Structure 1
Amino acid sequence: MTVTDMDGPRWSDFEENGFVVVRGLFSGAEIDEMCAEFAALHAAGPVPGHFEPRATGAAGTAGPVDPLDAHPRVMHPHRINELSLRRLLDPRLRRILETLLGEEVLAAQSMFYFKPPGARGQALHQDNFYLRVEPGTCVAAWIACDAIDRENGGLEVVPGTHRMDLFCPEEADAELSFVREYVPPPPGLAVVPVDMAPGDVLFFNGSLVHGSGPNRSADRFRRSFIGHYVGRSTHHIGRHYPTLTMGGEPVALPESEGAGPCGTEFAPAAPH
């Protein structure tokens, strides 16, 4: 089974499977603008605490040790980039999120992934393992900025896990994943690939097990912009996720225990 184009979003899919895809929510021009913005951010160099590329190998070596050395993910770009803030708080996302959650939503996090050719993926995991939203869970809005499929490391989901508690992760395979946490699919449940076109948005429950494999393409990036959101009824959230109203006003929430940044990365590979 592969999730491909359908006539339109079926909101019941979110309740039944833990995710729903909205096709073409953002235009090609909007996606081009976002990609150009992050290309400029990459060209400008490090932004401590948000975007920290590493040296691309020892002198005399050919190219980077790891493609993610030069193209790591950008954490919380909405705090340093006006376009990212606008995208995180976009009214189109707000309307859908309020439909899915049934209440006012708050924005908690943004990320941008470059995922260049040859990059490792992120092993199967649950977002709320890191955010620790109480009560309930978070919801992600995952915006495709390229044509995304299994070859270039597209997202995969495990429908049904959104109804389950948080799992205790195992250690991931460092050859395949740049983060340590790995949640195997529970018995009887299967991994489903989600193919997407630029401008499509995947909305999914924070307890849904999901992840991606390596980008095995020769020359295709798999760029994506992700926002994480919570309902207004949230009482606690991890300290790494200061929340905003969808109008951009800060909302102070007490800290929950056991939270952490999204994904514990393996130590960088030594130059060779």
Structure 2
Amino acid sequence: MTQTIADIYRRDGIVQVPQLLDAAEVEQLRTVFMDQVAEDHSLAIDDGVPDDDPLARFPRFVHPHRRTDVAAGRIALELMLDSRILDVVTVLIGPALGAQSMFYFKPPGARGQALHQDNTFLRADPETCLAAWIAVDDVDAENGGLAVVPGSHQTELACPEPADLTESFTNAEVPVPDGLTKVQTKMRAGDVLFFHGSVVHGSRPNTSVDRFRRALIFHYIPEDSTEIAAFYNPLVRPDRRTAVLPEAIGGGPCGDYADAEP
């Protein structure tokens, strides 16, 4: 019997959909975001990295979909609401609202991001968030592709521990839950990885010589959610209208771990 994406998601909390974007669309994403980061860092969030860090030149962009005055913002909003992505989102969590967009450049030499769970930041309730992680380059262990822990969506949000700052640009990580195993993903540009907000995931540094690991990431929450961290308001409906939910305690662009205990 062939498993559906919903079956796989229920079992693992993770499902990879191959080649949801075609080669021309991926190339357009690369060009638009590389042009934007070369022009200015107005879409970036300050992660406090030193000036000689590769991420200082290529900082992550957060909420580009809110900046429709620039091409990167327009393309982010278009893809956030693209039916190919929303159709999968709807199968997995039902009618949904767009909560966040992010673009990671991760150039050669860049640190990774320690293991974490997304809903620690978003604080969606009563259910959780769903990530759609779009590979803009071929990704594997060498250039810092995601590692995920299948089945960890059935665990609670975990209390973080200090991260190794030689490996991660973020300073906290969660442990792999007992009895579960971390798995390295391998993706082709245009593949999309969908995963549950409690899935433990992260990445190691990009140790390649000349390979970026660019990714466009969206987060969605169920339409009937009752609250979310303030940083993610306003949300976006599929028809582009906005929605505002009551503010949850904790969460934010970097996650307030002291306030985000479940």
Q: SS at the partner of 2:65?
A: helix
CA deviation map 1:232-263 (0-9, x unaligned): 11000000102110121101100000112145
Distance across 2 between alignment mates of 1:247 and 1:161: 33
CA distance in 2, matches of 1:54, 1:184: 24
Aligned partner letter, 2:77: L
The code of the aligned residue for 1:167 comes to A
- 1:140, 1:187 → 2: CA distance? 23
**Unpaired segments of 5 or more residues in structure 1?**
1-6, 58-64, 265-272
Equivalent residue number for residue 180 of structure 1: 171
- In the TM superposition, structure 1's runs of 4+ consecutive aligned residues that sit over 2 Å from their partners are 7-11, 49-57
Partner residue of 2:53 out of 66, 80, 88 = 66
How far does the alpha carbon of each residue in 1:19-77 deviate from its partner, in whole angstroms, 9 at most, with x for none? 00000000000000011110110111121x635698985xxxxxxx2111111100111
**TM norm structure 1:** 0.87
2:14 corresponds to which of 19, 31, 35: 19
Instruction: Name 1:213's counterpart in structure 2.
Output: 204
* AA matched with 1:12: D
Tell me the amino acid that sits aligned with residue 251 of structure 1.
A
Q: 1:22 to 1:262 in 2, by over 3 A?
A: farther
Gaps of 5+ in 2: 68-72, 257-262
Report if the CA contact (8 A) 1:127-1:262 is conserved: no
1:11 deviation in Å? 2.5
- The answer to whether the Cα contact below 8 Å between 1:238 and 1:257 also exists between their aligned partners in 2 is yes
Determine helix, strand or coil for the equivalent of 1:124: strand
Worse-matched range after superposition: 81-90 or 204-213: 81-90
Distance 2:49 2:167 in 1: 21
Pick one of 127, 141, 156 that aligns with 1:136: 127
Alignment partners' CA distance in 2, 1:8 and 1:56: 46
User: Partners in 2 of 1:40 and 1:223 — Cα distance?
Assistant: 13
Judge conservation of contact 2:61–2:102 (CA < 8 Å) in 1: yes
RMSD: 1.8
**Could you state the TM-score of these two structures normalised by the residue count of structure 2?**
0.91
Structure 1 residues 171 and 162, CA gap change in structure 2 (3 angstroms): same
Judge conservation of contact 1:54–1:70 (CA < 8 Å) in 2.
no
Q: Give the number of aligned pairs.
A: 249
